[in-house]
Structure 1
Amino acid sequence: MVTATGYAAKHSFSRLKPIEIERDPPKANEVQIDVLYCGVCHSDIHQCENDWGNTVYPCMPGHEVVGRVSAKGASVTKHEVGDLVGVGCMIDSCHECGPCKAGDEQYCEGPNSWLATYNGPMKPAAQAKTGTNMYGRDNTFGGYSDVLVVREDFVLKIPASIPVEAAAPILCAGVTTYSPMKHWGVKAGDKVGVVGFGGLGDMAVKIAVAMGADVTVFTTTKEKVAEAEKLGAKGVVEGDKEASEALEGQFDFILSTIPEKHKIDPFIPLLKHDAAYVSVGALAPMPGWNHMPVIMGRKSIAGSLIGSIAETQEVLDFCAEHGIAPDVQVIPIQEINEAYKKVKSGDVRFRYVIDSASLAQEKAEAA
């Protein structure tokens, strides 16, 4: 067995605290990864606090993981010991359904859907049957730890030109915004709106600008307008009626990155004929909307879930090619509970990343 140290929540109301876990050693098609950095995603908070009603405790989050391969199974060919690699939101899927065969593992239609990097399979029914993070192979405790074991085809290569600590958020925030822009065909000259300017919004703006789009940011935080403009976007404070009316019918694509419930009616009139408003941030029930402007303009209201393994590698390579990296604040894992408070209040620019070397302190104290 492989002994790992990490931070986990034992209840929806508890702080994250250090625990020791056992992972299975690498199977023939798996690699063992010594974790260097792990991003802090708003989804981690939702999962720890059981906001989606499917959390299995103890819950050890972390699905934006960068590390080095420290061991590999006998049949592994894609990665070598010492390689700098990444692990995103998924570590397995059924491999047999239509979406999986099409390379869209994040929409896996298998009996238990895809296997998340933490908290087990995505379908709550599968979790209820086991009542545990165990699912057919290894325990799915995430990247808030010093060691992961993952099958090789769900492990990404990190380009050398991306700063190691900044690569982690690309594995979730990067691909979550890249995938829908690719799917809906965002191209040079398109007018793109980005609703919300947090960890996802920051990456959405950078990627859309690199694609050649004309980007407008909608944010309720006036202090963020200048930051958005530095990235090449135009800042618009939501609720400014005159500013919104001046933009009616102008957008080819609007991407909502807000992680909470929000009204979408104000944005539908801003779309062009046949354009789409796509949500990637909120997994909670949303308020209803006025169908008339949707019908009259043959507009679409849609959603997009993270991205495929292939798209995750694509966005890593895209970021390397265009010199894109998330704005991050590196913290020791001992500050994770305070970091959660700041993420919830929006007081972070724009992504916290855990320096996993700080876990050595926990190991020393336990020894």
Structure 2
Amino acid sequence: MMVKLLIALTYLLLYVTLLPLWRHNAWWVRGLDFPRFQFMLLAFAMLVAEFILLDFSDYESWLMTGIAFGSLCYHAGWIIPYTRLFPVEVKQARRRELQNQISILTANVLTPNRNTAGLIQMVSQYEPDVLVTLETDKWWENQLAVLETYYRHTMKCPLDNRYGMHVYSKLALQDTAIQYLVEPDVPSMHALVVLRSGIKVRVHFLHPAPPSPTENLKSSERDAELLVVAKSVSDEISPIIVTGDLNDVAWSATTRLFRKISGLLDPRIGRGMFNTFHASFFFARWPLDHLFHSEHFTLIGIKRLPYFGSDHFPMLVELLYDEKHGADQEGLQPEEKDLAWAESKMDEHDVEEEDVHEPGK
């Protein structure tokens, strides 16, 4: 009985490993990008069980172990870059320098959550230069108004559909815009953030809808929004930051495509996964809240912050503008097939890079 169960689970593992290779954008396909770490652990457990239970005089036993080992290697290939076993992509900052630093705290609050005091206390403790809140409605906006004594520069888009967004900044915001790039009820925010030194940083705040049976049945809307922003920043020479709850895991093919097209760097590479969702289920957590940046920055610190009642943990990232030290940092490079794939995803929703507000231009 145990052997039959083991064989069935091995073929199930093969199915969930191979299905995401199909570029179909249905939620039940793209959703399998998320639990690669869990699939990796399952493959390892299967491999151990097979060595203990199977009779290796039988050809099928070798087939089963081959499937488990191949699955283990495949999923590990996606996960290892987000561990300390991999070289860092972003250099550690050589110093702190207030004039050229920027710290961004990103918090998906979960609209029904009422623990505003927990978030406000966290902001008081860590004192980020910029606070980005997601899923914030008018009630949350009213509760967070107390922050505006210190965070005098704001962008506000309260919505009741769990796609509201607010930005609170100690640093000046210029040339701001709120856009609905792909879906009429899913906003994004775009601005220049002026560092204390006067350096202007182009920043894009995003929260596209996820592929799921209760949201969008396909990933195409999410993918198109991510990639049109990636394309819009790809030829920029100015400092850039893109951040938010992207509703995609760091190790998905789409996020990897975003990194290739945009040329932006991921400070988690070589440092950790920093899983932010789901805060209530330790066995099902993935990195959904992201920050990518141009080579102008090096990393002071990155930290997942404590639980405050949301289904997401907040993230705090501190960067230093150090163009000289960061000049030789390099992310992923696109190939022709990547550019074509990105264009096809944008064409599906008829969006172009010219549609994205480009602060400072």
- Which TM-score applies when normalising by structure 2? 0.25
- Which TM-score applies when normalising by structure 1? 0.25
Q: Which has the larger radius of gyration?
A: 2
